[in-house]
Structure 1
């Protein structure tokens, strides 16, 4: 069963039917025609109400598509609920939507209790019609807000009474609020000694798949770099000119454990990491990050490997959005050893942790392979 039905005032309606039927039968036997006509009108309304209550909502379908609404703190968006109706029309109804308080209703009628918001919005839908209800919400705090319930309240159009439909399947739609992101003044310097994807004129490496022009052939040029069409046009050998590229990539490691408990500046460190990820994204710098919070899967901790682009950015920010102080941590030195043994180090690494002297001996080997930046505490001066 998709909708769980609850009838309000239904038993009283049955009593009205019984009383009116007895009165109608009595009028018929005693030949009270006028009184029978008068009684027939409310009897018809009550019988219509019984029929309506039994059938309404049977053809109502909620389109339960998987969808995630993404917000920043203080920004607004819409939760869109789509319905299709193949049964009796619903007039002057209402939808009660319940969701977690990472987001809040914006300019709507609502109630709040125990970490949840309940929003009431009008709802009407005709026979064989489709309706999309938009509920404005605003991001309140970092986190994931799941929709816990959808309730449709259907009043009778003529008499008192109503039907309440509770949607029972798991609701796939949710909303996520990203960490606060600040503008930072960090520069990520490329390496000219390793091939990559960043365009850099002083690099020693070229991108063989991205020619940008031609020049006259010079002794020593590779045979497969000759541009034969251009050579035929100019009647002189022409060599392809390629874009010069360099490697720039960053690894962020953040220690969120202070002994057996979370650090006191948990939220600030999450915002620090989110801001640096956003800076890498805007500069088209590939990045990776590791956090000493336990995770299931291939790695026993949260780790996003080197990557770039929109999908990589969204994946990283969504991980940071769902972290909580109730998560289980792992020793910070374990993720350092794991990355050294199983992952390729990028061109630079940023290590944000307290008690750095404890981990520096383990990181000495990293300093021979990459540029390591030690950050003892959250550095607010990096932000504008």
Structure 2
């Protein structure tokens, strides 16, 4: 692997070698054998250090076992690094790992500088040997964390100075910290506007391929709905009954633009999107996700097509773990206009957005054809949101103070 070397203190070593060599020659000329032996020993020591540190780090390779880890906030993982050395051993070194702060290293020698953690680990490896270093990590906040720097600091054996080695090759490793999964606190009602495949007790539509019984004929029933076999058996006309169904596809739309003077608005909206995605996954409801972050392609915003199940939920979690509030954003009403013009809006639309006058006209128009839910619960206190959706039971009554 390619390392960038930074050498410090070699000029002092070279000057010391010249000085001890001159003193050795003077001692030899004046036949001061004991003094000459001392200067020869010092010269040999400095020459050994010069040769040793000039060859240091040749053949040193590092390998990371896992290239990508996926964890939740508060969960733990391990960064495993395998070092393989060449012929020159490395003693008394310090390994410095720098990584982004979505994960926090659980190590006693750790420093944090403006979004970057530096981990200091004692390091030593023999000639032609392998060693493994494990760094325990904990998910701290939603996002992705990469190892930005691998740095070796090796002090001189004698005197001041050091050799610093920085890995030039990029480290192909990152940790994805998924957003926190919370309970939705409410239910998604199916849309009454379109037929579908989801069974519902009350619906305007029925599935003709799923008969569930018969009933007495009424004059408004169609002729092709009469069950002739049952009518002959009952000696009166019977009409087929079919399973009532409704479409329940959901579009989750998030406004990434933050409200003025609102802290952590972006993160709270993501948590609400995750709550809806979790609810749809548990109830096997197909859903799509759209976020007004600028992207390239036919859609100028971030979009995940309709899907269901654990695979869709995994894709949503990965997408939300990778985005940032620093990305360029598209006005929310422009994204709504583009989706409306595409003609692919599902029966149920969830808008996770703060109050905005620019989108009210779209909401007013969409409510005539779709079931539209405007969710701004993230602006309230979490306790108030839970109390709003708490079912009233006998145990929920307030106990007056004595």
Shorter-chain TM-score bucket reads: 0.7 to 0.9
Unmatched segments (≥5 aa) in structure 2: 199-205, 211-244, 391-402
Tell me the CA shift for residue 63 of structure 1: 2.9
Mapped partners of 1:205, 1:157: distance in 2: 84
1:189 deviates by: 6.6
Q: 1:62 maps to what in 2? A: 62
SS of residue matched to 2:288? strand
CA distance in 1, matches of 2:2, 2:253: 46
Q: Shift of the alpha carbon at 1:49?
A: 0.8
Whether the aligned pair in 2 keeps the contact of 1:108 and 1:121 (CA below 8 Å) is: no
Is there any run of 5+ residues in structure 1 with no aligned partner, and where?
197-201, 207-244
In structure 2, distance between residues paired with 1:28 and 1:203: 110
1:120-157, Cα deviation, whole Å (9 max, x unpaired): 11112222333332222333333333333221012345
- Alpha-carbon distance in structure 1 between the residues aligned to 2:26 and 2:209: 102
2:362 to 359, 364, 372: 359
1:72–1:39 CA distance, 2 compared to 1 (3 A): same
Residues 3-30 of structure 1: CA deviation (Å, up to 9, x unaligned)? 2211222211112211222233334444
Structure 1 range deviating more: 307-316 or 128-137: 307-316
Of 153-162 and 264-273, more deviation after overlay is shown by 153-162
Task: Indicate how the Cα distance of structure 1 residues 335 and 83 shifts in structure 2: closer, same or farther if over 3 A, else same.
Answer: same
1:249-301 alpha-carbon deviations (Å, 9 max, x no partner) = 43211223379x69763322111112222333444543211112222233101
What's the TM-score, normalizing by structure 1? Answer: 0.73
- Conserved 8 A contact 1:253-1:351: yes
Query: Where do residues 299-338 of structure 1 align in structure 2 (5 Å cutoff)?
Result: 299-338=299-338
CA distance in 2, matches of 1:372, 1:294: 24
Q: Deviations over 1:21-63 (max 9, x none)?
A: 2233334444444444333333222211111110011211233
How is 1:101-250 mapped onto 2 (pairs within 5 angstroms)?
101-157=101-157, 160-187=160-187, 194=196, 249-250=249-250
Deviations 1:55-83 (A, max 9, x none): 01121123368823333333333333332
The question of 1:276 aligning with 2:276 is answered: yes
Matched, 1:290 2:290: yes
- Contact 2:249/2:286 (CA < 8 Å) preserved in 1? yes
Quote the offset at 1:345 in angstroms. Answer: 4.2
CA distance in 1, matches of 2:266, 2:44: 66
Aligned to 2:234: none
* CA distance in 2 between partners of 1:53 and 1:348 (Å): 68
CA contact (8 A) 1:60 1:83 kept: yes
More deviation, 5-14/71-80: 71-80
Q: Give 1:342 shift.
A: 3.9
**Structure 1 segments of 4+ aligned residues over 6 angstroms from their partners:** 189-192, 202-206, 261-264
Change (3 A) 1:90 1:246: farther
| C-alpha distance in 2 between matches for 1:175 and 1:276 | 24
Deviation, 1:341, is 4.5
Deviations 1:324-364 (A, max 9, x none): 44433323233234334447444533223324632224424
Deviation by residue 1:137-195 (Cα, 9 ceiling, x = unmatched) = 33333333333322101234566532100123333323333322212345557799545
- Structure with greater Cα Rg: 2
Cα distance in 1, alignment partners of residues 13 and 130 from structure 2: 31
CA contact (8 A) 2:248 2:347 kept: yes
Change (3 A) 1:130 1:342: farther
Separation in structure 1 between the aligned mates of residue 279 and residue 348 of structure 2, nearest angstrom:
15
Partner in structure 1 of residue 215 of structure 2 = none
Cα distance in 2, alignment partners of residues 358 and 62 from structure 1: 58
Per the alignment, do residues 377 and 186 of structure 1 end up closer, same or farther by CA in structure 2, a change over 3 Å counting? closer
Question: Secondary structure at 2:291's aligned position in 1?
Answer: strand
When normalised by structure 2's length, the TM-score is 0.71
Partner of 1:221: none
In structure 2, what is the Cα distance between the partners aligned to 1:151 and 1:162? 13
SS in 2 for 1:58: coil
Task: Report the number of matched residues.
Answer: 337
Tell me, in whole angstroms, the C-alpha distance in 1 between the residues paired with 2:337 and 2:25. 89
Distance 1:166 1:311 in 2: 39
SS of corresponding position for 2:5: strand
